[in-house]
Homo-oligomer: A and B are copies of this chain.
Amino acid sequence: MQTQIKKDNRPHVVIVGGGFAGLNAAKSLAKLPVRVTLLDRRNYHLFQPLLYQVATAGLSPGNIAAPLRGILRGRQNVHVLMDEVRDVDPARRTVTPARGGALGYDYLIVATGASHSYFGREEWAQAAPGLKTIDDALEIRRRVLLAYEEAEREPDPARRQAWLTFVVVGAGPTGVELAGALGEMAQYTLRGNFRSIDPAAARVLLVEAMDRVLTPYPPDLSAKAEASLERLGVTVCTGTMVAAVEPQAVTLRRRDPTLGDQDEIVPCHTVLWAAGVQASPLGKLIHERTGAELDRVGRVVVEPDLSVKGFPELFVVGDLAHFAHGLERPLPGLAPVAMQQGNHVAKVIAARLADRAAPPFRYHDKGTMATIGRAAAVAQIGRLRLSGLAAWLAWLFIHLMYLVGFDNRVLVLVQWVWNYVTYRRGVRLIVGQGTE
Contact = CB atoms under 8 A, between A and B. Distances in A.
A49 to B, nearest CB: 17
Interface residues of A, number: 63
A74 interface: yes
A343 interface: no
A82 B196 CA distance: 13
Interface string A66-104: 110110011010011111000000000000000110000
How many copies of this chain sit in the oligomeric assembly? 2
A28 interface: no
Nearest to A406: B418
A134 B69 CA distance: 24
Interface stretch (A251-259, A283-291, A407-415): A407-415
A135 interface: yes
A62 B192 contact: no
A424 to B, nearest CB: 7
A327 B159 CA distance: 54
Interface stretch (A40-48, A218-226, A295-303): A40-48
Q: Which 6 A-B pairs have the closest CB atoms?
A: A62-B427, A60-B60, A69-B193, A407-B418, A60-B62, A67-B428
Interface of A: 1, 4-5, 41-44, 60-63, 65-67, 69-70, 73-74, 76, 79-83, 99-100, 133-135, 138, 145, 149, 152-153, 155, 190-196, 405-408, 410-411, 414-415, 418-419, 422, 424, 426-432, 435-436
